[in-house]
């Protein structure tokens, strides 16, 4: 079904607007509702879904999967899993109109945390303002190094000895928001751009789950561009990571 605004098959994207939620609220009722945005295969979406299914990511559920590309493989997998899925075609539409539709859909599904998983669009300031410090993105470098496109190729071309991936909150600047989790990947002498990208992607799948768990815990605050754990608390994760420091391209 397509309407004049360019919305394709917006499954269950109607309903009341949900009041905005503070991640640190003590009255939150679990599970924590995630909205996944993707444009392609959505490998990080699949990793998140598997972590929830396997019990590695507790207290969270995927409320809706949204794509700006009708043929996105990740969207097809979401439907196979029985998850609510919606398409809002972005081609030929004003960015503000498109983002307004996506925001309405996320709110209609009660989404509390938006996870960009290979979503190949920059978000409007209105989108960022609708979910302040509640949008996560994953970038294939140790930000602030190598922001923007082709981060793995940049690291390889520069001869970097260590690179990795970063999960960060999205703000209005590119690859700039507060860093939640980082995972380091050594650059091997035998690496080329493709092998390095594959090894970084494996770490992305771990890092995204860890970062979501950190946010779901609510045991943090954002001070300027810094994600700060509350004293005596740590992220609920079985994986070691690098966290902190300053830190938007869309992940995989």
| Cis-peptide into 144, omega within 30 deg | yes
Give strand pairing partners of 164.
184
Give strand pairing partners of 62.
34
* Catalytic-labelled residue, pool 109, 139, 176, 205: 139
CA angle 88, 71, 212 (to 5 degrees): 65
| Cis-peptide into 31, omega within 30 deg | yes
Backbone φ and ψ for 36, nearest 5 degrees, come out as: -100, 130
DSSP state of 216: H
Chain centroid to CA 28: 21
Backbone φ and ψ for 102, nearest 5 degrees, come out as: -65, -45
Residue 139 falls in the annotated catalytic set: yes
Which residues are tagged catalytic?
A: 139
């Amino acid at each position: 079904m397509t309407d004049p605004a360019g919305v394709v098959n917006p499954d269950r994207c109607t309903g009341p607007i949900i009041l905005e939620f503070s991640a640190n609220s003590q009255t939150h009722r679990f599970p924590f509702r995630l909205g996944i945005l993707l444009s392609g295969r959505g490998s990080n979406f699949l990793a998140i879904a598997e972590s929830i299914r396997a019990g590695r990511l507790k207290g969270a559920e995927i409320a809706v999967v949204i794509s700006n590309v009708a043929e996105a493989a990740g969207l097809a997998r979401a439907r196979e899993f029985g998850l609510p899925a919606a398409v809002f075609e972005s081609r030929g539409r004003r960015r503000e109109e498109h983002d307004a539709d996506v925001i309405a859909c996320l709110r209609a599904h009660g989404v509390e945390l938006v996870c960009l998983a290979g979503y190949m669009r920059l978000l409007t300031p209105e989108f960022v303002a609708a979910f302040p410090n509640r949008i996560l993105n994953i970038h294939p470098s140790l930000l602030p190094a190598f922001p923007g496109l082709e981060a793995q190729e940049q690291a390889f071309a520069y001869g970097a000895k260590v690179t990795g991936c970063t999960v960060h909150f999205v703000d209005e600047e590119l690859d700039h928001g507060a860093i939640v989790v980082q995972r380091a990947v050594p650059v091997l002498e035998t690496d080329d751009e493709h092998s390095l990208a594959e090894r970084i992607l494996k770490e992305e799948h771990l890092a995204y789950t860890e970062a979501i768990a950190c946010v779901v815990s609510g045991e943090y605050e954002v001070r300027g561009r810094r994600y700060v754990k509350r004293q005596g608390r740590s992220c609920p994760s079985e994986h070691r990571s690098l966290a902190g420091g300053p830190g938007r391209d869309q992940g995989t």
